[in-house]
Structure 1
Amino acid sequence: MRLLTSAQAIVESLRLEGISKVFCVPGESYLPVMDAIRNEPEIELISARHEGGASFMAEGFAKASGKPGVVMATRGVGASNLAIGVHTAYQDSTPLVVLLGQVHSSFSGREGFQEVDLEAFFRPIAKWVAEIREPPRVPELMQRALRIAQTGRPGPVVLALPEDILKKEAEMNFGPKVIRPKPRPSVPEILQTEALLADAEKPIVIAGGGVKSSGGESALQRFVERYSLPVMAAFRRHDVFPNNHPHYVGHLGLGMRADLLKTVKEADTILAIGTRLSEVTTQDYSLISKEQTLIHIDIDSETLGKVYAPGLGIVADAKEALQALQTMKLWPRWQKWMETRRQVYKDTLIENGTVNQQLISILQKRLPEGAILTNDAGNFAGWLHAFYQFNERNTYIGPTSGAMGYGMPAALGAKLAQPNRTVVSLSGDGGFMMTMQEFETAVRYEIPVISIVFNNRMYGTIRMHQEMHYPYKTIGTDLGDVPFSTIAESLGTKSYFVKRPAEFEQALDEALGLDKPVLIEVEMDREQISVTSTIQQVRARYNK
């Protein structure tokens, strides 16, 4: 038992869990917590320019570190600004602890200054929401929040902190650090899986974020090598399996080529591990049919059957499951099927000469081993998803939620989590402008990330859909000419403006040699609206 203020107990709970970074936009409602962090040498406070940016930093930090991200904001105004990061963490299954200042307890319910019912506000997009009302319970509720964020299907938790409790002292009793449960399949479940796979002629594995969060990438590789199984990555989980491995057959993302989709459609048995089989992964829930046998393994029982009723559903940690399933007595006979689908994937990587693909090839060639890439939402990311080879684990961070403004702030969080690795963010001009103020945060804290902005002066993804449904009727999607490279220079760092691949390669090489934030603005062809189509081609298809 220790006599501490509530604010000190909050910070001590974070320290005991090994949290080294806390992100925020300062607010007067939780000043005692900030002061407690100032007095804690093991925790650094990163003050951002906008709560949305701070939440993306914390989410990116969590993905890169494997520890919960922590973000703080004040009352209703700050809370509403960071809600986008909470939603992203919820859809991406990222452990995130959100600490929100709240009005004085005696003002509650009176529509006090900036008051919002935070529990009601966040309940639909968080795993757990609560308010700390009694100082002695601070350790209990903080450690419960940290446990909920990390166990089962990871996700965001939200704690409201009435400002009057933060200075109050009490005897605080702390429990042990969180240990994540790792359930394994039962013997009957292993035998059932073995029986279903024994009947399969064209099986496939779909691997998702649960494999990554369990640290099961190596176990996945050993498993599929043992049984000659092809692997596809769920949406924006590219690095779950080495893309250059002979068993890798593609990524289930947006704008997919029909020949890659055939790999799933032709499969008679699907082993889905650590994936919620999202809308994008399953191509609007249309990819898997009732005729296929589905074996679904996930840490969260509510995920099983949420989209597709499995022939066999197993609640288990992905790594533990993959290790347990290697005891199956199966004779691998799917080598030809796997090699055929691998060749289909390799055929999609053939260079077609577009500038966008050349830029991705340069990144592939020039980035050092272990480099981490983050990306925003937008059509520009299609070239990254289609052509970049993620051959090492924990090298990709992207929002399955499709949040714009994510890429650069998430890169800051990733770099703070992995300071010895190169971190590069990819953004379109639309998304970058939403959180570009955080580039000043990078400069102020000397966080050396490389931010690449693909500038075509429009909301490209929406423009594509606009042309698909209302060709020639452009409205709302054209953007002004923003000199991103000039703005970066004015913030006191290095920037480049490039138009051609050779210029981009030179700029990237120079940026890799600088130990400071760098921005590379790339002038893009507005006509090349997606990986597969120009605007004129989209219009032509509509006219047919």
Structure 2
Amino acid sequence: MRKTGGQIIADVFSKEGVKKIFGVPGESYLNVIDALFEHPEIEYLTTRHEGGASFMADGYAKASGEIGVCMATRGPGATNLSIGIHAAKQDSTPLVALIGQVGRPFSGREAFQEIDLVPFFSHLCKWTVEIESAERIPELLHRAFHIARSGRPGPVLVSLPEDMLNDEVGDVTNGPCKVAPIQPDIESVKLAAQKLRQAKKPLIIAGGGVMMSNATPELVQLAEKLQIPVVTAFRRFSAFPNLHQNYAGALESALPDNLLNYIQDCDVVLALGTRLSETTTRDYTLFSKGTRIIQVDISPDVLGKVYTPFLPIVSDAKAFVTEILKVIEPMNNEQRLNNLVEMHDNYIEFSSPEHNDSKDYVDMNSVMYNLVEELPKDAIITSDAGNFNTWVTRYFRYDDGGFYVGTTSGAMGYGLPAAIGAKLANPNKVVVSISGDGGFMMTMQEFEFAVRHIIPVISIIVNNNMLGTIREFQQGKFPNRVIGTELTNPNYAHLAENFGGHGERVERTSDFPIALKRALTARKPALIEVVTNPNILSADHKE
């Protein structure tokens, strides 16, 4: 039986177990959309902007553990999609993006909306490929899925010339390629165990590799047996239960002095599944010269990229922890126990918001207090970039199945579409996105998507009528020379209602708990706009 290129692509999706595809339809890949009509097990979800599609795919992948899939047409569709592809690259999110391309006879002639997609996206992706023959679709598209999920996961881009999708070919036999987790060298595991036992002040940094390999339960056992404090890498809060006695905090921009001092006094650090990014390491200054780093990562390209590790180990995070648990014995060291108690107590104190009854504006400390008190313990939190995040990252704790979906790339507009993707992956969990007024406006059109598909996410907008992060930097670098950071905003609550959702505008702290309860029971997409003091730009603000 002969099939068109578009039909073969749909067949590959089915074999790979794809359930959701996020995109904006375009004429350059209509054959693929038409072929999906014959695959009711795959849902094509039309977003209002390609950036929203790529963010939804990213959020869906993070929350489901599956590969996110998004599609766009050539030219402007492709460039709109690129923001989420870049976010997926920096977050190591497995994502496959398919983009329609001009027909092969028109290539290289500056045809309508033509972009040479392979070089354009090459540095944003793990792999980019243009499929020039329908016969090779099964081979190359299955390979794209394999590359996206193997090793250090990441985005792969597949370019689809429009006329190629019309070509007909015979039956093909290619299928998914899935490999076993990468196992560590056993002698290196034994050496790591020895150095961690001998250390006077050890530390474990849990990164995204812990989350992707579902290694958290094993990591808890390791930390308990060796009495080692654990911190989470930038935006990886869910890698370790925050209320566990071994948890010492997150490597965010606001790092308390006691934690920073401990880290800089560490003699051995186990960096597990983290690339030790610029933000995680405070501009690559986090460790002292005498600190010996044991770095475990699934990708050899990560090892030594930032710091030269004393002991580099190529391994899946879960596989490494499973093996090291076989060769260690529980410790009973009084000094280590005292360190654990002190560091966890310091974390609890640092991450406990105080409730204040502000009359003129909404107090963000109180907002976080109410969120911690009222949301289910397994709630999912998403957010985009902005100074409002200093409250989110400092005060919300992830335990008992709750987790955070965010981007390390600092992309504004991520929160709402990522929340939609996360909710589609976890329909029975409460999903809350938190955004600034600047970021929310960038993708607010996806609220209509949530209404159309009856996806009851809750969007909280922290509104101070400015780009707060840049304003704070501006004031620090160029005092009293404000330019370009002031904004005006609509009444977001009315906007939500016009879209068909539930809307609330909160101007006093005391009104927020009631608005939150109404949003939780709305049974449709809900939005809470909180009006905050423009003079208090972060959780670290001092009067």
Q: 1:438 aligns with which of 441, 446, 456?
A: 446
Displacement, 1:176?
Answer: 3.6
Correspondence for 2:51: 52
Q: How far 1:330 sits from its partner (Å)?
A: 4.7
Q: Counterpart of 2:85 in structure 1: which amino acid?
A: V
1:429 is the counterpart of 2:428 = no
* Number of residue equivalences: 534
Q: Give the SS at the match of 1:488.
A: helix
Q: Is the 8 A contact 2:378 2:399 kept in 1?
A: no
Matches of 1:525 and 1:500 in 2, distance apart? 11
The answer to whether residue 425 in structure 2 is matched with residue 417 in structure 1 is yes
In structure 2, the residue matched to 1:468 is: 476
* SS of alignment partner, residue 241 of structure 2: coil
CA contact (8 A) 2:437 2:489 kept: no
Residue in 1 aligned with 2:393?
385
Aligned mates of 1:150, 1:233 — CA distance in 2:
22
Report the 3-state secondary structure (helix = DSSP H, G, I; strand = E; otherwise coil) of the residue aligned with 2:245.
coil
Q: What residue is the counterpart of 2:350 in the other structure?
A: 348
Calculate the aligned-residue CA RMSD, in Å.
1.3
SS in 1 for 2:75: helix
Query: Quick one: which of 505, 511, 514 aligns to 1:497?
Result: 505
Distance 2:308 2:127 in 1: 26
Q: Is this contact kept in 2: 1:97–1:157, CA < 8 A?
A: yes
Matched with 1:310 is 309
- CA shift at 1:258, angstroms? 2.2
Aligned residue number for residue 541 of structure 1: none
Range that drifts further, 328-337 or 474-483: 328-337
- The range that moved more, 391-400 or 143-152, is 391-400
Cα contact 2:382–2:419 (8 A) shared by 1: yes
Q: Secondary structure at the match of 2:99?
A: strand
Moved more, 4-13 or 306-315: 4-13
Q: Residues of 2 paired with 1:187 and 1:153: CA distance?
A: 21
> For the residues of structure 1 that align with 2:402 and 2:130, how far apart are their CA atoms?
34
For residue 29 of structure 2, what is the aligned residue in structure 1? Answer: 30
Amino acid in the other structure paired with 1:153:
R
Match of 1:525? 533
Task: Give the unaligned 5+ runs of structure 1.
Answer: 538-544
Hey, what does 1:138 align to over in structure 2?
137
Distance across 2 between alignment mates of 1:43 and 1:386: 39
Q: Are residues 5 and 388 of structure 1, via their aligned partners in 2, closer, same or farther at CA, if it must alter by over 3 Å?
A: same
Cα deviation 1:156-189 (Å, max 9, x = unaligned):
0000000001121112424343324312222211
Residue in structure 1 matched with residue 182 of structure 2 by the alignment:
183
2:457 counterpart of 1:458: no
| CA–CA distance in structure 1, aligned partners of residues 162 and 465 of structure 2 | 44
Q: Distance in 2 between matches of 1:26 and 1:448?
A: 24
Correspondence 1:361-380 to 2 at 5 A: 361-380=369-388
Residue 346 of structure 1 aligns to a residue in which SS?
Answer: helix
| 1:365-409 C-alpha deviation (Å, 9 max, x unpaired) | 111232111001101011111011111346210001110000000
Letter of the aligned partner of 1:450 in structure 2? I
AA aligned opposite 2:342:
T
The aligned amino acid for 1:495 is G
Distance across 1 between alignment mates of 2:169 and 2:395: 57
1:452 maps to a residue whose letter is I
Secondary structure, counterpart of 1:337 in structure 2: helix
**Aligned partners of 1:314, 1:131: CA distance in 2, in Å?**
34
Name whichever of 83-92 and 171-180 sits farther off.
Answer: 171-180
SS at 1:75's partner residue? coil
By how many angstroms is 1:353 displaced?
Answer: 4.4
Match of 2:296, SS state, is strand
* Corresponding residue number in structure 2 for 1:129: 128
Work out whether 1:249 is the aligned partner of 2:257. no
For residues 64-143 of structure 1, the aligned pairs below 5 Å read 64-143=63-142
Q: 1:516 and 1:351 mapped to 2: Cα distance?
A: 29
User: Which amino acid in the other structure matches residue 56 of structure 1?
Assistant: F
Query: Which of 401, 405, 408 does residue 413 from structure 2 map onto?
Result: 405
CA distance in 1, matches of 2:349, 2:382: 25
1:197-238, CA deviations, whole angstroms, 9 ceiling, x for partnerless residues?
233101000000000001111111111112111100000011
Instruction: Give the residue type in structure 2 aligned to 1:119.
Output: V
2:359 corresponds to: none
Aligned partners of 2:296 and 2:315 also within 8 Å: yes
CA contact (8 A) 2:218 2:318 kept: yes
Structure 2 CA distance for aligned equivalents of residues 505 and 363 of structure 1: 8
CA distance in 1, matches of 2:224, 2:398: 18
Per-residue deviation, 1:361: 1.3
Question: CA 1:52–1:153 in structure 2 vs 1: closer, same or farther (change >3 Å)?
Answer: same
Q: What SS is found at the alignment partner of 2:170?
A: strand
Query: What letter is aligned with 1:340?
Result: E
Q: Residue in 1 aligned with 2:360?
A: none
Over 3 Å counting, the alpha-carbon distance change for 1:351 and 1:415 in structure 2 is: closer
Alpha-carbon distance change, 461 to 365 in structure 1, aligned in 2, over 3 angstroms: same
Tell me if 1:7 matches 2:6.
yes
The 5-angstrom pairing of residues 146-295 of structure 1 reads 146-295=145-294
Alignment partners' CA distance in 1, 2:351 and 2:456? 31
Residue 326 of structure 1 corresponds to: 325
SS state of the match for residue 487, structure 1?
Answer: helix
* Structure 1 Cα separation of the partners of residues 286 and 345 of structure 2: 21
| Whole-Å separation in 2 of the counterparts to 1:172 and 1:465 | 59
Q: CA deviation at 1:327?
A: 2.0
TM-score, normalised to structure 2's length? 0.96
SS of residue paired to 1:271: strand
The question of whether the paired residues in 1 share the 8 Å contact of 2:24 and 2:49 is answered with yes
Over residues 458-498 of structure 1, what are the superposed CA-to-partner deviations in whole Å (9 max), with x where a residue is unaligned? 00000010111111111100101321111111111110001
Contact 2:372–2:396 (8 Å) recurs in 1: yes
1: CA distance, partners of 2:370 / 2:514? 10
SS in 1 for 2:174: coil
For the residue of structure 2 that corresponds to 1:242, the secondary structure is: coil
Name the stretch that deviates more: 257-266 or 272-281. Answer: 257-266
TM-score by length of 1: 0.96
Alpha-carbon contact 1:216-1:318 (below 8 Å) kept: yes
CA contact (8 A) 1:136 1:172 kept: no
The more displaced of 393-402 and 19-28 is 393-402
Corresponding letter in the other structure for 1:406: Y
Bigger drift between 481-490 and 254-263 goes to: 254-263
Q: Give deviations 1:310-340, integer Å, cap 9, x for gaps.
A: 0000000001111111123355222222222
Distance in 2 between residues matched to 1:12 and 1:162, nearest whole Å: 18
When structure 1 is superposed on structure 2, of 34-43 and 55-64 the one drifting more is 34-43
Letter of the 1:347 partner, please give it. E
Q: Report if the CA contact (8 A) 1:194-1:330 is conserved.
A: no
SS of equivalent residue, structure 1 residue 124: coil
Identity value in percent:
46
Task: Give the conservation status (yes or no) of the 8 Å contact 1:205–1:231.
Answer: yes
- What is the Cα deviation at residue 38 of structure 1? 2.1
Q: Distance in 2 between matches of 1:415 and 1:349?
A: 26
- 1:152–1:299 contact (8 Å) kept in structure 2: yes
Deviations 1:345-370 (A, max 9, x none): 12213434452111111111111232
Does the 8 Å CA contact 1:240/1:393 hold for their aligned counterparts?
no
Offset at 1:257? Answer: 2.5
- Does the CA contact (< 8 Å) of 1:274 and 1:297 recur in 2? yes
